[in-house]
Structures are given as C-alpha cells and as structure tokens.
Amino acid sequence: MKTEPSRFFFFTIGLAALLLGWLVFEVIRPFILPIAWAIVFATLFYPVYLVFQKWLRFKALASLATLALILVILVGPVSYLSYTLASELAVVVGKFKSGQISVSALAHTPAANSIINYLKGFFFFRDVDFEQKLNQALASLEGWLGGQITGGAKNILTGIFDFALMGFSVFFLLKDGPGFINSLRGYLPLSDPQKDRLIKQVKDMVVSTIFGGVVVALAEGLTGGLAFLALGMGSPILWGAGIFIMSFVPVIGASGIWVPVAAWLFLTGAIVKGIALVLSGIVITAEDTLLRMAIISGRTKMHALLIFFSVLGGINLYGIIGLILGPLTVALFISVLEIFGNVEGGLNG
C-alpha cells in the first residue's frame, strides 16, 4: 500500500534545501558583482547575439563574437571616458582649491544675497551660515573623491580579476541563457500557466529595469554632456556622468544636476547660458519621458517611491551596480509575491 510523505519528510527536505541554498549563496557571494554585471551586459547585448547566431550558426561562435564586441566597447571608449572623467574631477577639485571656483564669491552676489536673506526670514534658517555649510559640503565631497580615486588605484588587480570573471560569465549566459531559464522553470513548484506568467513578469521587469534604466540613462548622459560642451561649461564628461547616475533616481532625475548649475549661472550673471541650459534640461526631461514610454509601455512598473528607496538601498549594498540591481531585486520579489498570492485565489493567468 502506497503511503503519502509525512509532514516530517517535507519539513526535513525544506530545511535541507534552505541550508544548501544558504551554502551555495555563501560560495558565490564573493562573485556577486561580476555575475550581476554579466547579467546586465548579457541582457543588453542578447539581441546582438541573436544576429550573430544567424550569421555564424554556432552558439559558441556567436557568443564569442558578442563578447568580443562588448570588450571592444568597454576596453576602448569606456577606458577613455573613465580616464577623462578622472582628469576632469581632478581639474574641478583643483579649481576649488585654488579659488577659481569660489563659494564665497557666489554667496556675495546680489541674487544670492537676496535668496539667503529671504531664507533667513524663516525661524529654522535664522542662524544658519550658508557659506560655511557650502564649504563644508565641498570639503566632504573633495575628501570622498580623493578616497575613491585612492581606493580605485589600490583595487586595480581586483578589478581586472572581476572583469575577467564577468567576461567568462557573459559568454555562457549568452550561449546557454535559454537553457538556464528552462532548467529553472522545471524546478518551480507551479503549474505551467503560473510558470509562464512568472517568467513573463520577470522578463518585463528585467526589460523595464535594465533597458528602461540603462538606455535612458545613456541617452540623457550623452545629451547633457553635449549640452555642457556646447555651452563651453568645461568638464562635459563629468557633467554627463553625473546626469547618467541621477537619471536612475526617480522624481529628481537629471534635474538634480542641471537645475543647480542653471541656478548658478543665473546667480553669476550668465543669463544666456542659464536659459540655454534650462532649454537643454527640458529636452532631457522630454527624452526621459518618451524613451521610458517606448521601452516600458505595457510592462509591469513599480511606484516611484519604491524605486527611489530600492535605488538608494541597492547602491548601499552593491555599489554602482545597485542602480540596477536594487530595483531589479525588489521587482523580482514583487513578481514572485503576486504569483504566489494569485495561487491562493485561483488566478492562474
């Protein structure tokens, strides 16, 4: 007579699965960042891989060709941009040190004085020394930048090792990605309609987070950098990089860069440049809206507040890759919750 497995059996299997899952995570935890970058690049370049596969027929050759293209893009332009960005950062810090960019001079302009006097009319701003606060903020920024540059120099070997691991992972993710997904699909304790729904939601989240984030950020960073270059503002790579990063932050977005700079221009009397920068900012905002509509339209989206905190938490946990991994992790969690919530209600898609 066949007997049903006991509750103790399920409890034991579940406990063993949790323990082994934790051990597996501990094994791969040192390599989370290169794997995460590999997933991002494999997702971004998968359409290119499909084109190469049609031409070359063999998956391994197509994956190798795609990886070579990724490496050419990263090692060439990105290396140059990184070097230029570091140089521009050093120039900006030097200008603050030498007094070429003076917070004191800005604080004593008529327009700035009017704003400061207006703010001091409020009780909680009455005893605030705005000039001192700005100087302290700039000193903190200078110290942070110096620490980042020093830390980056010390970790060159680690960066090279992680880069090699990322390339290795990209090759197999491109070649065997669909196989990985099918294998994972077989392990899910869900019905086929539920599996299809979960995979579709995860795919939509990945497209929305990676394409909707990275592509839009690149477009905005490029537009912003060109605008600063055209206006003769100096350090266009630095400004473009700042806009790229800020574009991941909901609500504030790229305006967190161009609005303060435009205000600076107006306060220092560069009215024409200020108006031109505001117009460029409007173009960037329109670009953000139109591109996100085109990429994310019809796909699952998260609330702006949830994205905001997931971006901040992702950066705190993962570093710069957290701009993508933070929202993606939360989005995947929500997808799984929705699926298992619908299991109870009998909603199988």
Write the pLDDT tens digit of every residue in 151-170. Answer: 555 556 676 788 888 888 88
Compute the Cα dihedral for 129, 132, 138, 142 and give only its sign.
Answer: negative
Q: What is the pLDDT of residue 150?
A: 53
Same domain, yes or no, for 202 and 169?
Answer: no
- Residue 125 located in a structural domain: no
Write the pLDDT tens digit of every residue in 23-32. Answer: 888 888 888 8
Question: What is the C-alpha to C-alpha distance for residues 66 and 75, in angstroms, rounded to an integer?
Answer: 14
Query: End of a domain among 176, 199, 230?
Result: 176
**pLDDT band at residue 300 under the 50/70/90 scheme:** low
Same domain, yes or no, for 218 and 291?
Answer: yes
Whether residue 15 has pLDDT greater than 80: yes
For residue 188, which of 202, 175, 207 has the smallest C-alpha distance? 202
* Whole-angstrom Cα Rg for the chain: 25
Same domain, yes or no, for 65 and 39?
Answer: yes
- Residue 199 located in a structural domain: yes
Decide: 60 and 49 in contact? Cβ < 8 Å: no
Q: What is the pLDDT of residue 46?
A: 87
64 or 210: whose pLDDT is higher? 64
Same domain, yes or no, for 251 and 302?
Answer: yes
- Residue 49 located in a structural domain: yes
Extract the tokens encoding 153: 């120099």
Same domain, yes or no, for 216 and 152?
Answer: no
Q: What is the pLDDT of residue 264?
A: 79
Same domain, yes or no, for 211 and 240?
Answer: yes
Considering the entire predicted model, what is its pTM? 0.62
Same domain, yes or no, for 148 and 234?
Answer: no
Q: What is the pLDDT of residue 86?
A: 67
Write the pLDDT tens digit of every residue in 187-231. Answer: 777 777 777 777 777 777 777 777 777 788 888 888 888 888 888
**pLDDT, averaged across the chain:** 75
- Residue 120 located in a structural domain: no
- Residue 116 located in a structural domain: no
- Residue 14 located in a structural domain: no
- Residue 200 located in a structural domain: yes
Q: Which domain holds residue 52?
A: 30-102+130-176
Same domain, yes or no, for 241 and 206?
Answer: yes
52 or 315: whose pLDDT is higher? 52
Question: What is the C-alpha to C-alpha distance for residues 260 and 269, in angstroms, rounded to an integer?
Answer: 14
For residue 173, which of 34, 73, 56 has the smallest C-alpha distance? 34
> Scanning the structure block, which residue is given the tokens 């705005």?
130
Same domain, yes or no, for 149 and 247?
Answer: no
Task: Return all residues near 296 (Cβ < 8 A) that are at least 6 apart.
Answer: 207, 208, 212
Write the pLDDT tens digit of every residue in 95-143. Answer: 666 665 555 555 555 655 665 565 555 645 556 666 666 666 666 655 6
Give me the percent of the chain exceeding a pLDDT of 90: 2
Q: What is the pLDDT of residue 65?
A: 92
Q: What is the pLDDT of residue 120?
A: 59
Same domain, yes or no, for 69 and 93?
Answer: yes
Same domain, yes or no, for 153 and 196?
Answer: no
Domains in the chain, number: 2
Whether residue 3 has pLDDT greater than 80: no
- Residue 293 located in a structural domain: yes
**pLDDT band at residue 325 under the 50/70/90 scheme:** confident
Lowest mean pLDDT segment, chosen from 157-161, 238-242, 326-330: 157-161
AA identity, residue 347:
L
175 or 252: whose pLDDT is higher? 175
Q: What is the pLDDT of residue 197?
A: 75
Same domain, yes or no, for 154 and 204?
Answer: no
AA identity, residue 154:
K
Whether residue 146 has pLDDT greater than 60: no
